[in-house]
Structure 1
Amino acid sequence: MANFKGHALPGSFFLLFGLWWPVKFALKHHSMKLKKKGRAHRSFNRLEIVEGAVKVIFAMIGILAEQFVPDGPHLYLYTREPWGWVKLMNWQHSTMYLFFGLSGVVDVLTYSPARLPLGLDRLMLAIAAFVEGVLLYFHVQNRPMLDRHIHTLLLIAIFAGSASILLEVFLRDNVILELFRSTFCFVQGTWFWQIGFVLYPPFGGKTWDESDHDNMMFVTMCFCWHYAIAIFMVVAIYTLVHCCARRWRTSNGQIQIQLNLQNQKNAKDCCAFLLNTSDEE
């Protein structure tokens, strides 16, 4: 959708995953440190299945929104009288959602009893991000200068995120790559919203001059600010969750030790009582 809502919808999806992934990775790596074999708890497999299902649901929402809005194509790709393509921009967005939906399906199959080879989940996610970048690259051809520039900045985050995810196929459970991926997902979400505010002001504000070079300079600087915020948020969330998990583990361990000591004391008292009773008899 070539409007504010059409950019806010995918922006919200990417932003949610950008906030969720550092939480999941912090819990997973904390669990791996507790396990002797360096593997996460089995409950994380179920968590991956839930995440894959959420991807599929988000993708279906996106496809339905692109196809069945009042001015959408309604599943018509072309018309015969007069002959022509129907709302190809909506079809491109639908294709993007389709590949992320396929990524969710592969996630579910990888961690379900079907047991697809480990790594296919990361590979399919990298392919989905790459397809998103390819579609977006040809999406803004012959558009005004500012329009092209603001979408080109988004391509940086998309292709960098795709490359990072592809490396995870071979370097699995690498916390640096996982957090690196999370920052690019987060900045995609915020930047989609920024594109909506710049190109389609939702409150009827003054439109930006798309031929002004100063606007391009500010937008470039603004993208750097967005990425700085993304780094701060991902690191802050990961650190907070990791510290909370360690504190909970320490508190739980102290309670367990206290219970064991109390049980030992009660056992000693019981033994002493029985010995005293037997001496009196």
Structure 2
Amino acid sequence: MANFGGHAIPGTFFLFYGFWLVVKHNIQHYWRTRQPKGRQVTPPFFKKMEYFEGGLQIFASFVGIMVEQFVVDGPHARLYNREETSWVKLMNWQHSTMYLFFGISGIAMIACALSKNVPAGVDRLTISLALFVEGFLFYFHVHGRKPLDAHIHTLLLVAVFGGSASSMLEVFVSNNFILELTRAGLFILQGSWFYQIGFVLYPLNGDVWDLELHDNLMFVTMCFCWHLAVALLLVASTSSTVWLTMTRCSKKGRDIEIGMRDASSKSSIQKGLLEQSDEE
């Protein structure tokens, strides 16, 4: 949609999804580093996380498509108007197509978790394809627009194509913690930048930006770098929080296990002494 809400909806999804990836991959990496060599049995909890992530993608994609198609001024599933001989709301159709491929990615993720017959890496391949389609659509989305409008959308392509490339690398290099966090950070960057696009093109306070002023292009470019720095900071702080939480939980679990072992050993010693006294 050509308004602030049309950019806030995907921005919110990408922000939430990026934070979810940071938490998920930190938990998985913590578990992998604590496993003995040669023993890599996937716990059932990890499959539940895949189901949740895939279901989230499908749900968010469905909601996005419905919003784009059936808002008051939407195309209402009409692609071409024969009476006026013109296309109907192609911008909404482009956004719907973007959501469609993220829904396909969610289906592939659930299929990979459900069946071992699905080749490994299909889930990462489809998310890479979804990001590529998003970038491909946005690349031809801004032709003929004013300089600032085109430039602020072009900067988004850095995060989109970067995420697509890192996801494609994960197809061939699985369980690489750096690549996983890179993809998560680029999703966070993409989400925050969607909000920035909305604030620039559809300001809530009514102060309209000059879309042809070169200084505004310079500021927006610098602002993108700030968004990148904030995304890195958020990934680092979230990872640290998850890591500390997992470490404390594992220590408490070990203390409980040791206490149970000590209690059982003491009870066995007492039982042996009682049996010995009965024999005497």
TM-based fold match above 0.5: yes
Q: What is the distance in 2 between the residues matched to 1:199 and 1:100?
A: 25
Superposed displacement of residue 58, structure 1:
0.3
Q: Match for 2:89: what amino acid? A: K
Match of 1:33 in 2: 33
Superposed displacement of residue 50, structure 1:
1.9
Task: Return the match for 1:147 from 146, 149, 163.
Answer: 149
Q: Structure 1 274/39 Cα, relative in aligned 2: closer, same or farther at 3 Å?
A: closer
Aligned residues: 278
What secondary structure sits across from 1:143 in the alignment? coil
The 5 A counterparts of 1:11-22 are: 11-22=11-22
Superposed displacement of residue 161, structure 1:
0.6
Task: Return the match for 2:191 from 185, 189, 192.
Answer: 189
Normalising by structure 1, what TM-score? 0.96
Q: Match for 1:225: what amino acid? A: W
Q: Match for 2:257: what amino acid? A: Q
Within the alignment, does 1:267 sit opposite 2:268 as a pair? yes
Q: What is the distance in 2 between the residues matched to 1:172 and 1:123?
A: 12
Q: Answer yes or no: is the 8 Å Cα contact 1:18–1:182 preserved in 2.
A: yes
Q: Answer yes or no: is the 8 Å Cα contact 1:32–1:39 preserved in 2.
A: no
Q: What is the distance in 1 between the residues matched to 2:84 and 2:154?
A: 34
Structure 2: stretches of 5+ with no match in the other structure: none
Match of 1:60 in 2: 62
Match of 2:88 in 1: 86
The 5 A counterparts of 1:1-281 are: 1-36=1-36, 37-113=39-115, 115-203=117-205, 205-279=206-280
Q: What is the distance in 1 between the residues matched to 2:265 and 2:18?
A: 48
Superposed displacement of residue 163, structure 1:
0.3
Q: Structure 1 87/209 Cα, relative in aligned 2: closer, same or farther at 3 Å?
A: same
Q: Match for 1:271: what amino acid? A: G
What secondary structure sits across from 2:81 in the alignment? strand
Superposed displacement of residue 114, structure 1:
6.6
Q: What is the distance in 1 between the residues matched to 2:264 and 2:181?
A: 44
Q: What is the distance in 1 between the residues matched to 2:17 and 2:239?
A: 14
Question: 1:116-168 CA distances to partner (integer Å, 9 max, x unpaired)?
Answer: 11111111110000000010000000001000110011000000110000000
State the Cα RMSD in Å.
Answer: 1.2
Q: Answer yes or no: is the 8 Å Cα contact 1:133–1:159 preserved in 2.
A: yes
Structure 1: stretches of 5+ with no match in the other structure: none
What secondary structure sits across from 2:132 in the alignment? helix
Q: What is the distance in 2 between the residues matched to 1:166 and 1:151?
A: 23
Q: After TM superposition, where is structure 1 displaced by more than 4 Å over at least 4 residues in a row?
A: none
What secondary structure sits across from 1:2 in the alignment? coil
Q: Match for 1:243: what amino acid? A: L
Q: What is the distance in 2 between the residues matched to 1:96 and 1:66?
A: 11
Q: What is the distance in 2 between the residues matched to 1:160 and 1:35?
A: 31
Q: What is the distance in 1 between the residues matched to 2:41 and 2:265?
A: 33
State percent identity of aligned pairs. Answer: 47
What secondary structure sits across from 1:58 in the alignment? helix
Q: What is the distance in 2 between the residues matched to 1:43 and 1:135?
A: 36
Q: Answer yes or no: is the 8 Å Cα contact 1:10–1:192 preserved in 2.
A: yes
Q: Match for 1:72: what amino acid? A: G
